[in-house]
Structure 1
Amino acid sequence: MRKLLRVIVILLTFKGYSQLNGTVINSQTKAKIPFVNISVANKNIGTNTNASGEFTLSIKDNETLIFSALGYQTKTVLVSAINNKIIALDPAVIALHEVDVMPRRETKLLQVGSFEERSIKSYFECNEFPWLSGQYFKYSNNYYDTPFLSEIKLVTKSRVKDAKFNLRLYTINEQGKPEDFLYNSNIIAVAKKGKHITTVNISNLNIKFPENGLYVAIEWFAIPSNKYSNHYKILKEKYEAINYEPLIGVIPTDNLEEKCQTYTTNLKDEGQFNAIIDFGNTIKKQYHKLAMQLILTN
């Protein structure tokens, strides 16, 4: 009888849901768009397209999906209105932050931020809904002789092979929140299996450290190759916990300005990000910041 009731509950829970298999393409070139963020409006449900621009999502026909990707206009679509399982995104005209063209010599290096890999025991992780965590870096006059971003280093821990994630670079507005894109394409990074310092070389992008500050954000991808399943029991009942790799190392800080900010969505809404989650003990003024390091060069 208990098993029958359990089956009935499961059937009722998934009543009205169907599996949507689709592909996201460029409306002009018809090329498939990889790693598009797909979220369900007003819910913490979402996924990403894979490297081939394809996705799978269990959803109701009356739900609304929001598709967003760097370099494209955000699109909102009712599930029942999706034709031929194809979603076409229009390329966006993005006004990038002004960049001064200067000859680079790369004869000097400056390290911004520090951490000890062996001492890192805490991590941020992504569950079934992709989100975005970021770190604010304040500008210093000490960066004048080494103004270009060369490398971004962070501590990753992955339980799958070659977990992919994205880096986003923003300027900072007067409220201390991410504002304008410094680079309007994905910066795909790969975390090897195990615990490592993952280095992302961006020296070829010729990006200068903005004088109003820099926001470096990590975007997790909810794609099959990043999926890690952990099975466990509670009172003899079996459960499955799903995470999307990699884990990102964090270190403690008592500086409120340095604390990591995590967003439940990576969509910009009227120039602002929304739904901030604060980690740490705000009463004792103990916070977390990403174990991240910038390497600047001339």
Structure 2
Amino acid sequence: MINKYWFWMLLFAFQFSFSQLKGVVKDSISGQPIPYVNIWVENENIGTTSELDGTFTINTTSDKVLVFSAVGYLRKKARVADNQGILLSLEVNHLKDVLVQKRLGKEQIEINTFKSKEVNSYHSADNKPTIIVTHIKNSSIIEEHPFIQKITFLSNSQLATAKIKLRIYDVAPDGGPGANYNDETIIVSLKKGKRKNTIDVSDQNIIIPKQGLFIGFEWIIIKENKYTFNYTIDQKGNKRIGDLINKTSKIYSDGQDYQPYIGLLKSEESLRWFYSGGKWHKLLNNIENKGHLVFSKGSLAIQLTLTN
């Protein structure tokens, strides 16, 4: 009887620890649902994104603290009961000390240029709402052409269409990503295959300040971006897609991640930061490649077209 009692207690604890928590995120004033909200379990590597109707599902329990983050809204931490509504408040914009500068638009230059064939590795979100950014350092040539007109990057997707957020941050006093540079959510739709994409951001009036900017992407963990695949496991424990190592290899059909993949360039210096568990972390260049199309070495392949 004692053994049976403890068996059921352990089974209950196991089920409780891996339960799914559902909720919906809404605007505190209008009551309208907020899509694509970044949601993390605080201090843990577990997260998700709200769907177009504001709903979300996350593998955690009501005793854990969730971190909600969305452009234009104040970040919120809360313990959430199942099917609870979460209200986010609009962020009050604080005036920044800026240099008022008139755009001339007479000259145009490109920095951080790259060719598609130079990109031979990619970063993926796996199954978490990852944010990856790279530091764009200022220079004398940038000071002469401080306005960002276009942002070009390389993507690779297995889906007909995949969505990703373009993110831009100020530089914080500690040198890491700080506050959102702009208050507008920029969603980019990317087509299937390996593609070089260019986004026109001239209407955003983005000026690179003396301390530079962080530019990157936030993966959106929604049904629309979900990709399932078959894979095998090689001798080193890495996933290999469409590659049968030997006749005794097992083929698994439950692989999944979220599209798209973003191209990386080889770099001796790591300028990338990633957001996880409600905090920013700096990526190191000595992390080995593990898993499906996730690479930690190199910098984001981001090319900028600047004007004066």
- Band the TM-score falls in, shorter-chain normalisation: 0.7 to 0.9
Once the two structures are TM-superposed, the CA of residue 149 in structure 1 deviates from its matched residue by 1.0
> Does the aligned pair in 1 maintain the 2:40–2:278 contact within 8 Å?
no
Structure-to-structure mapping, 1:64-75, within 5 angstroms: 64-75=65-76
Aligned to 2:257: 243
Once the two structures are TM-superposed, the CA of residue 101 in structure 1 deviates from its matched residue by 4.2
Q: 1:297 aligns with which of 297, 301, 307?
A: 307
Runs of 4+ that moved beyond 6 A: none
Aligned to 2:3: none
Q: Which runs of 5+ in 1 are unaligned?
A: 1-7
Aligned to 1:267: 278
Aligned to 2:201: 202
Aligned to 1:252: 266
Once the two structures are TM-superposed, the CA of residue 137 in structure 1 deviates from its matched residue by 1.4
Once the two structures are TM-superposed, the CA of residue 68 in structure 1 deviates from its matched residue by 1.2
> Does the aligned pair in 2 maintain the 1:111–1:293 contact within 8 Å?
yes
In structure 2, how many angstroms separate the alpha carbons of the residues matched to 1:244 and 1:13?
Answer: 30
Once the two structures are TM-superposed, the CA of residue 291 in structure 1 deviates from its matched residue by 0.9
In structure 1, how many angstroms separate the alpha carbons of the residues matched to 2:107 and 2:14?
Answer: 59
Aligned to 2:229: 230
Q: Which runs of 5+ in 2 are unaligned?
A: 1-7, 234-248, 289-295
In structure 1, how many angstroms separate the alpha carbons of the residues matched to 2:143 and 2:199?
Answer: 22
When residues 253 and 233 of structure 1 are mapped into structure 2, their CA distance, relative to the original with a 3 A threshold, is closer
Q: Percent identity?
A: 32
Q: 1:288 aligns with which of 292, 298, 304?
A: 298
Once the two structures are TM-superposed, the CA of residue 252 in structure 1 deviates from its matched residue by 0.7
Q: Answer yes or no: is 1:168 the counterpart of 2:167.
A: yes
Aligned to 1:136: 135
Aligned to 2:240: none
The CA deviation string for residues 66-113 of structure 1, in whole angstroms up to 9 with x for no partner, is 211122122222233x6x531111112243644444443423211111
Aligned to 2:284: 278
In structure 1, how many angstroms separate the alpha carbons of the residues matched to 2:14 and 2:224?
Answer: 25
When residues 203 and 13 of structure 1 are mapped into structure 2, their CA distance, relative to the original with a 3 A threshold, is farther
Q: Secondary structure at the match of 1:107?
A: coil
The AA in structure 1 aligned to 2:222 is I
In structure 2, how many angstroms separate the alpha carbons of the residues matched to 1:12 and 1:277?
Answer: 38
> Does the aligned pair in 2 maintain the 1:231–1:241 contact within 8 Å?
yes
Aligned to 2:107: 108
Aligned to 1:5: none
The AA in structure 1 aligned to 2:212 is G
Aligned to 2:242: none
Aligned to 1:4: none
Aligned to 2:79: 78
In structure 2, how many angstroms separate the alpha carbons of the residues matched to 1:58 and 1:122?
Answer: 30
Once the two structures are TM-superposed, the CA of residue 169 in structure 1 deviates from its matched residue by 1.4
In structure 2, how many angstroms separate the alpha carbons of the residues matched to 1:34 and 1:122?
Answer: 30
Q: Answer yes or no: is 1:47 the counterpart of 2:57.
A: no
The AA in structure 2 aligned to 1:289 is S
In structure 2, how many angstroms separate the alpha carbons of the residues matched to 1:93 and 1:40?
Answer: 25
Aligned to 2:236: none
In structure 1, how many angstroms separate the alpha carbons of the residues matched to 2:227 and 2:45?
Answer: 19
Q: Secondary structure at the match of 1:123?
A: strand
In structure 2, how many angstroms separate the alpha carbons of the residues matched to 1:51 and 1:120?
Answer: 32
Q: TM-score under structure 1 normalisation?
A: 0.83
In structure 2, how many angstroms separate the alpha carbons of the residues matched to 1:97 and 1:226?
Answer: 36
RMSD, aligned α-carbons: 2.6
Aligned to 1:188: 187
Once the two structures are TM-superposed, the CA of residue 266 in structure 1 deviates from its matched residue by 7.3
Aligned to 2:219: 220
The AA in structure 2 aligned to 1:176 is G
